[in-house]
Structure 1
Amino acid sequence: MAASHIFKVVFVNQGKVYEIYARKVSHGSLFGFVEVEELVFGERSAVVVDPTEEKVKAEFEGVKRTYLPMHSVLRIDEVRQQGVSKISNFEGSNVTPFPMPVYTPGDKK
C-alpha cells in the first residue's frame, strides 16, 4: 500500500498566518504561484469543535484548488500526520517588504 502524503502549507494572507493541510502541492501552471489541491480538514470528532479550524474550513469551503503567490508562502512541509488547520496573527514588524519580481528579463542585444 502506498504511503499517503500530507503537506502542511504555511502562508501569509492579509496580515494573518494560515496553516492548512493538503494532499497535493505543486508549482502549478500559473507562473509565480504554488498550486494547492485536495485540502484536508479534521473530521475526527463531531463532538469537539475547534473554532479556529472551522473558520479555515468555512473560508475554503467549495474550493477545489487554490493558487498561492510564491512570495506569500512561508514553508511547505511533508508531514506524517495531519494537524489542526488554523489562522493566527502575524507576529512581525509593522514594516511590509516591497514585493520583488520573481523574474526579471535580461538585456536584449
Structure 2
Amino acid sequence: MSKRDAPIYKVIFLNQGQVYELYARQIRQSDLWGFLEIEELVFGERTQVVIDPSEERLRTQFEGVLRSFVPLHAIIRIDAVERLGTARISEARGGGNVTPFPLPPMPDKS
C-alpha cells in the first residue's frame, strides 16, 4: 500500500477550550497509558490561492512535530475519510448533547 492509498483519519479533540480538527495518516493507542498517538499530520497544499488562516495557524503550531500524544478523554471523534479536508481550530461551544465522563469525587484531605 503506497502513501497515496493509505487511509486518512480525521481526528477531532479538545485542547484548552478549543476544538482541533486534524488529518493524519497514522493513529494508534500509545504506550503511554491513556494517550492516543497521532503521526504524519496532513495539511492542504500551499499552492492554493486562498489560504485558510486557521489551517495555517495549525501548520505553524505543529511544524516539526513528529508525533502528538492526545489524552483519550479529550478525543471527540475519529473518522477514516476518503479525501483530505481543511484542518481547523474552533471554539468549543457548550450546550451540546455530549456530556463529559464523570470523574470520581476528590478524596477528603482532612
TM range, smaller chain? 0.7 to 0.9
**Alpha-carbon distance between aligned partners in 1 of 2:67 and 2:73, rounded to the nearest angstrom:** 18
Aligned length: 99
> Which residues of structure 2 form unaligned runs of 5+?
105-110
CA change 1:11–1:46 in 2 (3 A) is: same
Q: Which runs of 4+ in 1 moved over 3 A?
A: 96-101
* Percent identity for Structure 1 against Structure 2: 53
**Alpha-carbon distance between aligned partners in 1 of 2:71 and 2:16, rounded to the nearest angstrom:** 12
1:100 aligns with 2:106: no
1:45 positional shift = 2.6
- The normalised TM-score by structure 2 is 0.81
After alignment, is 3-12 or 46-55 more displaced? 46-55
State the superposition RMSD in angstroms. 2.0
Q: 2:13 aligns with which of 11, 14, 19?
A: 11
CA deviations on 1:41-81 (whole Å, 9 max, x unpaired) are 10163422111100111111110000000000001100000
> Which residues of structure 1 form unaligned runs of 5+?
102-109
